[in-house]
Structure 1
Amino acid sequence: MRHGSALRARREGSGIAATTVWGVQAEEPGTPAAAAADPADPTPLQRFRHNVWRLVVTTVGSCLKYRVTGLAAEGAFFAIVSVPPLIFALAGAVGYVAERFTDAQVEDIQQAVLDLFSTFLTDRAVNRVIARTLEDLEGGRFDVVSLGFILALWSGSRALNVFVDTITIMHGLGGHRGIVKTRALSFVLYILALITGAISIPLVVAGPTVVREWLPNRADFLMEFYWPIVVVICICFLATLYHVSVPVRTNWSFNLPGATFSLVAWILGSYILRWVLTVTAADSRSIYGPLAAPIAILLWLYIVALAVLIGAAVNAAFDTVFPQEVTTRARRELVARLRGRVVQARERSGDSAVD
């Protein structure tokens, strides 16, 4: 211990700052040791490779430090829990707007709900419970709508709260925003996610072929921008999620790298999951039985949550390698405030000991 203290004192006295990356101790650039090791100015290619390596190491370190795999599982669980009450709330609201639709359209909506539940429930449960419940909701039930939306908002916002908390902590600003403000922000983001999903998901599911039939012939040129529009909508929502999750107001464009990475990872992960499910489902004798569909949905939501959290780690790595003045100042203020609280606590404990 004495030898380590002396070595540390000599390093501090010489102005050498050391950092440890994956167990390897390296000198920080700009210190005398770093200048002696590399007296010549690095070339642009060397600086680029160095910055890319720092981004990769910082991103991986953040993912390991903040357990993004476990937090993604938590977010996926609460996301799938919010689906059934949301469906019942929408089904209960159908009765209030049924007069504007034909009987065939109302039956199609009810059949779509039954088909959704039949993917992970037995036919007996669907016919005895779900179908009868939908029949009772034909006239509209305000209590069902209210309770369904409340449960959906609670569980859905809980999933968004995982993202907001993790993004805040990754930027080194944990505790900067209060619990009440964080929860309120999660509610707002969940409502925004529902609106964005209501716009983007039908576009993705329908595809350009179906949408082309809805548009007049004069607007066929818009189909050339179909997928770019869908991609831009998704990236803008992800960048907005990262932007508002940071407690201080940063530049919105600084969140685009993580949003782009998250979208690419989500698409690749979805294709891989689809391929795996297609291969494993080739055999009709599935060991999961009626649970196969909810397991697939849960895995897909896990991939989505994991992609979002890794994208947040990418943005945090960019903020570390290329720090913004706003976040740097906020971190210093947070550290100063925490040190002040520690000093006050020590003074209080010292006064109580004297008494």
Structure 2
Amino acid sequence: MNFFIGNFNKLTGSNHSLLKLMIPLGISYITFQQISYIVDIYRDKEAFENSFVNYALYAIFFPKIIAGPITKYSLIKEDIKKREYNDELFKEGIYRFSLGLSKKVLISNTLALVSNKIFAIDPQLLGFNISFLGMITYTLQIYFDFSGYTDMAIGIAKMFSINLPENFDKPYKAKGFIDFWRRWHITLSSFLRDYIYIPLGGNRVSKKRLVFNTFILFLISGFWHGANFTFIVWGIYHGFFVIIEKLGAKKIHKVLPGFVSEVITFILVAVGWVFFRADSLRYALKYLRNLLTPAKIVPLSTLDIGTYSKFWFVFILSLIMVFTPKLKENKILSMISKPFSIIILIYSIAVITTGSFMPFIYLNF
């Protein structure tokens, strides 16, 4: 989108803010969903929806319109047709929405205050320790930001008795990049797999073709996030690790202890996020150079990056949360979590009213 806006401005000399108003809200996610709908109809004539109202509700259902999750019509078809109020789903929706809002407001926004300051500084002034801190902080920030939005979307949908698909499954507990993409932005991964990767031949091809198919898949994934070279390099970076795992390196994760494999994957994924966060490829490369020189240490007190006690509390808490296994549902947990969700909902709203505006990261894509 930014690519087309930039070139439109160069050609016309116009203000891009006017063009932004002309571009429909959530155009990328709407487009992906319409592609899946049309292709599914081509593959299966029964996938066609006769009711325009039901189709329109699917296409522009407001919780998912801006940043997903990307939803196949077949997954929510029955919910849309019924549209019956469900008391249990409504309560579950409030809990899920509260959880998502707290992820964004209480965790992601706190982490953003530090990561934004670090990535605004010339990399030559950072050193290894601050660069590493900025990388990890942004890695946590983007997860709690995006998963928070998804939780809110799923929660609102449940209040309307519509079950949207899950989009995250503890991605930072992944053992390898293939496993990571089974857990991160699951609906995007599923879309790219079903409508690009499998039509290209998927895994049932020669090794050369397998490399080509995977490369194209992640090149498109990077380009979808933006035309900036940083996003394209980010996509190729992930594609490289997925390819070498498919060619045999995946066995390494089976040999390593589980937690060691998770930490290695987490660090490598975090390195990739540097390209995603940086404003330019040149900045990203300078930033990564610091990570290769561990001897270069800059005292935190030298730079005002906002590492106060509140930040460290949230930073450590977020690390614990991403590496903690999923808790199994039980009656005691349910009795505690539901009332607690109301408390954090009220507190999150209070923080919003007194804090500064911080948009969701994925609203840009």
TM-score by length of 2: 0.26
Question: By percentage of residues, which structure has more helix?
Answer: 1
Between structure 1 and structure 2, the one with the greater Rg is: 1
